[in-house]
Structure 1
Amino acid sequence: MLRYDYHPTEPTLNKFILMLCDAGMVSDACFVFSVLLRKSYVYSVYCYNPILWALCKTGRSYTALQLFYLIKKKGFVHNMCSYTALIYGFCREGLQDNVFQWLDFMQSNGCKPNVIAQTIIVKFLFDNGKFEEAMDFVSKMEREGCNPDLLTYNVILRELCHRDRLDDISELIQVMDQKGLSPDSYSYAALCGGLLKIGKVGDACELLLDIFSNGTADVAVYNIYFQCFMSRE
């Protein structure tokens, strides 16, 4: 295409890079991107953000970081999605120091982390056994005007179930209700899965029956229901 002086449009380039990344062909996407960059065919963050995410999802956050700075050096302005990709990558690889250094870097560059980026960090802290630190982080989110959304609360619900803190779960659901956030199928999956993990099979089954009667079950909830049956054998 380039040899015949064909100038692809921005949507075409973005879609092509995204298709390569979705197919797991990250190295090919990087090669194509480097060629396009040399020929000044890269127009916006929508061309390279998929590559940042693909690298971070495959444990190559430092490579993504190098790409981030290369693009920045070329004069492009990153958006929230670019920064969030690196947060996800550092969390995925267990690099806590990098996570919070990057958070500070974002803010110093005038990019206030949104609820998605901060929820990734909350889950990372929970997964690494830092319960109090995660809850303090949620409180900090709220103080700074970044209100937790349903996904954030689902992450908290899941962790509370794993810790058998049923009173706290009840209180959290009331808070969700006060904020107009109704539990969805992910909320129920988190609750049932958490109860099942700590051995409360009977409670999980009762909750599942209530979910079925409300018509809010999906495939994930049905799979948990099958796990309940197998656990009772």
Structure 2
Amino acid sequence: MGESGLDLRRAARAGWEGLTVGRARGFVQANLVVVPADWAGDFAAFCRANPRSCPLLAAGRPGDPRLPALGADLDLREDLPAYLVHEAGHAPRRLASLRDEWRRDWTPFALGCWFGAEAALAGEGIRLRHVELGLQGPLFRTGRAAVPVGRLRGPLVVSMRPFAREDVPRVAAVTAGLPRSHGAPVHVGDPAVLGIPDPDQPDWGEPLRPEPGEEAVFWGCGLTALAALQASGAPLFATHAPGAMLVTDLLETLP
């Protein structure tokens, strides 16, 4: 039996701080965003208005570090490999645990992550070069705006992975059937079309240029929510660290 979401959460709780890319294949991975209760309504509405970037998997209650719908024995304060705490006017702080940071009004949200699509693509025999390299891959703020809601507005953020040109139609078809992992690509080809000036300078992750015979394929990314919170001046919130996702007990299956 392969590695499960619970296995990976227990490893993180025991101190593992690696990337979740390529791990627990077939289990839905999630972006974690924890906001003060007075921002929770706007945040949930922002996710609903931008479902391809921010597919909302679960919303919690203020002060409760659990999301029971996503997994057994799940504690959001320590079951991710790494976290970032964001305070307005300061650089994010990277932490191995949120246990000492957790506040009574913090309200957690889990948003779908592209990593959950990897098992379906691998099952189709599609090469995942970023996984072979052990990379998350590049993520970019684009020149396009997300749909604004209430206090929240900001740029669309996308992730990119390169695929063999002949595989791109299958990649698009497979991921279109996985809405919890961002669904179909938002763009294939030239990053300049998205307002990305330099693909070798990602905002997060690592540069990964397409090789000859490959195409750059872009998906909406849950960091759209992070960018909106930052742009909108949210005073204090927490997220997963890039590439260190919440791995759930949900299975990512095609319909």
TM-score when scaled to structure 2? 0.24
**Structure with more contact order per residue of length (Cα contacts < 8 Å, sep ≥ 6):** 2
Q: TM-score, normalised by structure 1?
A: 0.26
Higher Rg of the two aligned structures: 1
More helix by share: 1
